Amino acid sequence: MTTQLEAARDGVITKAMEAVAQKEGFTPQEIRSLVADGSVVIPVNTRRLQTVNPIGIGERLLTKINANIGTSQSYPEVEYEIEKLEIALCAGADAVMDLSTGGDLHAIRQAILDRCSVPVGTVPIYELMVKHKADFSIEKYLDIIRDQAQQGVDFFTIHAGVLRSHIADINNRLMGVVSRGGAYLVSFMKRTGQENPLYERFDDILEICRTYDVTISLGDGLRPGCINDATDRAQISELEVLGVLANRCREAGVQVMIEGPGHVPLDQIQRNMELKTQFAGSTPFYVLGPLVTDVAPGYDHICGAIGGTLAAYWGASFLCYLTPREHLGLPTVTDVREGVVASRIAAHAADLARGKAGARQWDNAMAKARIDFDWEKQFELAIDPQKARERKDTARGSDSVNVCSMCGDYCSMKLTRES
Ligand code: SF4
């Protein structure tokens, strides 16, 4: 089977491209052209073409958001992760990543894939770490990605850009390497003196991904883990390699995104987006947050939403959510919900500012519902209808048809309508 990228280059409009075009307000031909030049990816494994509701990820399209779920050693129960999956989908996540590191990883992944109508991503090196600890071998890694691709995973984070030559730059950092995959590979390279095997055997990885049309998300193993380390030499050196690898993906017919930071102060976000463009052109940029300060544990979904808004405004296509429990523990179901909503607000705020399809109309509809005192319509249009309704219903005077408990008789909108 051909990949979406190969089909697009051959001039073929797939069903997935048609579905994306309809959702985004583009013509199928326009989407085909964007997929063909690599500026849009449609992550859907050939085995899940009938299951996944396709999404397009790219700067010209609406900003998408991802929710990370998955077990840990302390919380290996699959049932809890399924609850998180359901709440993430219900809250509007466009994609989900299974980052499980506890319990039966294959079975957990299958349970998620079976219930998930949006693209599912994984970080295959986690399975290697769990199963083989420090006993790294590229053959075991390739077996794992082959197994996951056969299972139907739609996109993989592959940390192929962190190289031996980057290690010296890490020593200047306040926090070193904070990506689990990156830390594992750096530790391997330091221990053995060998190059990153994912880089050396990248063609083998490409072959597996091409067979199942698994989109590669080139992982930023050296993403900054604190504000001090943002936009440093280690991060930028890796990004440069990711740009080269992105070209190799496309040459092999494999769809590709690039992952980005991390912790970045507000004044460096635009520069980070420009650096991605400098090294990787219009390859979709998938950013974690970014977090704009290190000092708000418990509220990192807000730190990430601030950074995500600016990142999407300056060109990021895909935002990985953060939950209020980031840096503190495995998220609960409630944390997942809060994280998805915060990230969706960031995505929409950026889409609105960039004039993307339908964004302004959504806000205008809300404004009209407000001036009309149409509360039901306001709940329906709210990014989180459940919370909006709860807040209204639990306030004093909630039975009032029009004004709410904020201004009462002094409601400006009532006065405006009456004047
Ligand atoms: S009372 Fe105040 S807050 Fe409530 S609807 Fe009127 S203007 Fe808005």
pLDDT value at position 280? 98
Identify the residues whose C-beta falls under 6 Å from ligand 1: 403-404, 406-407, 411-413
pLDDT value at position 418? 86
Distance (Å) from CA 342 to ligand 1 centroid: 24
AA letter at 205? I
How far from 263 is each of 49, 68, 195, 295, 298, CA to CA, in Å? 35, 17, 27, 11, 16
C-alpha 116: how far from its chain's center? 16
Q: Please, what is the end-to-end C-alpha distance for the chain in angstroms?
A: 66
Longest dimension (CA), the chain: 78
Give the separation between CA 318 and CA 231, rounded to whole angstroms. 19
- According to DSSP, the β-strands at 285-288 and 155-158 are unpaired
> Which residue of 375, 403, 414, 417 sits with most ligand 1 atoms within 8 Å of its CB, as the best mutation to test the pocket?
403
Q: Which residue's CA is the nearest one to ligand 1's atom 4?
A: 404
> Which residue of 391, 404, 415 sits with most ligand 1 atoms within 8 Å of its CB, as the best mutation to test the pocket?
404
- pTM score, whole prediction: 0.97
AA letter at 280? A
Distance (Å) from CA 402 to ligand 1 centroid: 8
pLDDT value at position 242? 98
> Which residue of 406, 410, 415, 416 sits with most ligand 1 atoms within 8 Å of its CB, as the best mutation to test the pocket?
406
Distance (Å) from CA 9 to ligand 1 centroid: 54
Give the separation between CA 383 and CA 402, rounded to whole angstroms. 21
Q: Which residue's CA is the nearest one to ligand 1's atom 8?
A: 411
Residue 265: asked if its preceding bond is cis (omega within 30°), the reply is: no
- According to DSSP, the β-strands at 155-158 and 95-98 are unpaired
- Phi, psi at 386, each rounded to 5°: -60, -45
Q: Which residue's CA is the nearest one to ligand 1's atom 3?
A: 406
Distance (Å) from CA 304 to ligand 1 centroid: 30
Residue 78 near residue 111 (C-beta atoms within 8 A)? yes
Angle of helix 124-132 relative to helix 138-151, nearest 10 degrees, comes to 130
Q: Which atom of ligand 1 is nearest to the CA of 404?
A: 4
CA dihedral sign, ordered 234, 120, 93, 21 = positive
Taking residue 139's Cβ as centre, other Cβ atoms within 10 Å add up to: 10
**Range(s) within the chain of domains with CATH label 3.20.20.540:** 4-353
Q: Which atom of ligand 1 is nearest to the CA of 373?
A: 5
Distance (Å) from CA 403 to ligand 1 centroid: 5
4-353 falls under which CATH superfamily? Radical SAM ThiC family, central domain (3.20.20.540)
pLDDT value at position 73? 94
- Phi, psi at 153, each rounded to 5°: -60, 135
pLDDT per position in the chain (419 positions), as tens?
A: 899 999 999 999 999 999 999 999 999 999 999 999 999 999 999 999 999 999 999 999 999 999 999 999 999 999 999 999 999 999 999 999 999 999 999 999 999 999 999 999 999 999 999 999 888 899 999 999 999 999 999 999 999 999 999 999 999 899 999 999 999 999 999 999 999 999 999 999 999 999 999 999 999 999 999 999 999 999 999 999 999 999 999 999 999 999 999 999 999 999 999 999 999 999 999 999 999 999 999 999 999 999 999 999 999 999 999 999 999 999 999 999 999 999 999 999 999 999 999 999 999 999 999 999 999 999 999 999 999 999 998 988 767 778 888 888 899 988 888 88
Distance (Å) from CA 376 to ligand 1 centroid: 15
Q: Which atom of ligand 1 is nearest to the CA of 410?
A: 1
Q: Which residue's CA is the nearest one to ligand 1's atom 6?
A: 411
> Which residue of 374, 391, 409, 413 sits with most ligand 1 atoms within 8 Å of its CB, as the best mutation to test the pocket?
413
Distance (Å) from CA 404 to ligand 1 centroid: 5
Consecutive H or E run containing 256? strand 256-260
Consecutive H or E run containing 99? none
Q: Which atom of ligand 1 is nearest to the CA of 402?
A: 5
Residues 6+ apart with CB under 8 A from 304: 288, 289, 290, 291, 319, 321, 322, 326, 339, 342, 343, 346
Give the separation between CA 221 and CA 178, rounded to whole angstroms. 8
pLDDT value at position 62? 98
pLDDT value at position 201? 98
Q: Which one, of 119, 104, 43, lies nearest residue 73 by Cα?
A: 104
